[in-house]
Chains A and B, each alone.
Chain A
Amino acid sequence: MRSSLGVLVGVALVLSALPAAAHHGWGGNSDAVSEMTGVVVSPVSLSGPHGTMKIKTADGKTWDITLAPPFRTSSAGLKQDTLKVGNMVTVHGNKNRDANRFEMKTVQVDYEGKHFMVYPEREATLHR
């Protein structure tokens, strides 16, 4: 009885030591990194599982910009008051594989010469 409890505790410890998987992962998004420029229509929100914002590109499409989880996005310098509606930003990241879903999992946000690297360990410029 005692040994089976020990095994159970051991398994639990090993599992908890695994890196916490991101909420969605990147599977639903293209492997290719792309960038696009647009105007902020909904500023950064740090509530929920991920930071989010919305931008409108020149072709009139509104994109859901999925950022890192709240703490990491904030640590990268991107806070809820950093960007205002109307600011022009460039985002780098991986677009949703579904071409009808205007969503990008975003690695980096550029604004007025500042680079907010919300996923610094990921490649933001694979295409170069």
Chain B
Amino acid sequence: MAWLEASPLGHAMRDTGLWTYSVVNLTHILGVAMLFGSILILDLRLLGLWKQVPLSALSAPVVSIAGIGLVVALISGSGLLATKATEYVGNPFLYIKFPAIGLGLLNIWLLHRSSAWRAHRVRALEPREESQLRRMGGVSLASWLTAISAGRMIGYW
């Protein structure tokens, strides 16, 4: 954390004007909104809602918007953390948020590696594959909800 605070990113966050933090904070919210707003639709579809919408029609736009949102959130979030990184040491919500992000990213990686996910673009899924994706949709929803909730609470500790 001391290293992050002393990094060029930390200096840039502190020394580039009165509105830097608030604009980066706004960017972070937009990134999170893109990530969660789009992935919520996919997760609910995987959990069994809107069966009439083909998964293959939904997955491409959702994955690209969520991916852009994730990158925006990671970059802006690093800046927010770097501003006064050492002050967050001991903040319990931080220790909930980052494992939750880790779980969410691991889940994304596992999903994209799964044969069911690869198959959904070219054919209808078997019930076994659908239930595998349903579990991953549930894990995704739980991990991002946890990350966002804990992240919001960091400021109130």
The chain A residues found within 8 Å of chain B, CB to CB, are 23-24, 28, 45-49, 69-71, 74
Q: Report the bound CA distance from A87 to B19 in whole Å.
A: 27
Task: Tell me how many residue pairs across A and B have CB atoms closer than 8 Å.
Answer: 28
Is the Cβ of A70 less than 8 Å from the Cβ of B156? no
By the criterion CB–CB under 8 Å, are A47 and B19 in contact? no
Instruction: For the complex, give the distance between the alpha carbons of A24 and B25 in Å.
Output: 15
Would you call B95 an interface residue if the criterion is a C-beta within 8 Å of the partner chain's C-beta atoms? Answer: no
Contact with A along B50-71 (1 / 0, CB 8 A): 0000000000000000000000
Task: Report whether over half of chain A's contact residues are helix, strand or loop; otherwise say mixed.
Answer: loop
Q: In the complex, what residues of A have CB within 8 A of residue B19's CB?
A: 70-71
- Would you list 25 pairs from A and B whose C-beta atoms are within 8 A, ordered by A residue? A23-B155, A24-B155, A24-B156, A28-B156, A45-B14, A46-B18, A47-B13, A47-B14, A47-B15, A47-B20, A47-B21, A47-B83, A48-B21, A48-B83, A48-B84, A49-B21, A49-B25, A49-B155, A69-B22, A70-B18, A70-B19, A70-B22, A71-B18, A71-B19, A74-B18
Please name the residue on chain B nearest to A64 by beta carbon. B87
- Known contacts: A24-B155, A24-B156. The answer to whether A47 contacts B22 by CB under 8 A is no
Contact indicator B155/A70 (Cβ below 8 Å): no
Per DSSP, are chain B's interface residues mostly helix, strand or loop, or mixed? helix
Other 16 A-B pairs with CB < 8 A, given A47-B83, A47-B84? A23-B155, A28-B156, A46-B18, A47-B13, A47-B15, A47-B21, A48-B21, A48-B83, A48-B84, A49-B21, A49-B25, A49-B155, A70-B18, A70-B22, A71-B19, A74-B18
Give the interface centre of A24, A45, A47, A69 by most chain B CB atoms within 10 Å: A47
Distance, CA A89 to CA B22, complexed state (A): 28
Across the two chains, which residue of chain B brings its CB closest to A46?
A: B18
Task: Kindly list chain B residues whose C-beta atoms are within 8 Å of the C-beta of A71.
Answer: 18-19
What 0/1 readout, one digit per residue, does chain B (18-42) give for beta carbons within 8 Å of chain A? 1111100100000000000000000
Residues of A within 8 A of B83 (CB): 47-48
Contact A70 B21 (CB under 8 A): yes
CB distance from B155 to the nearest CB of A (A): 6
Chain A proximity of B6: nearest CB distance (Å): 14
A contact residues around B22 at 8 Å (CB): 49, 69-70
Q: How far is the CB of A88 from chain B (nearest CB, A)?
A: 25
Q: How far is the CA of A10 from the CA of B18 in the complex (A)?
A: 31
Restricting to B82-138, which residues have a CB under 8 Å from any CB of A? 83-84
B residues near A48, Cβ cutoff 8 Å: 21, 83-84
Residue of B with least CB distance to A23: B155
Looking at the assembled complex, report how far the CB atom of A67 sits from the nearest CB atom of chain B, in whole angstroms. Answer: 12
CA distance A39 to B115 in the complex (A): 65
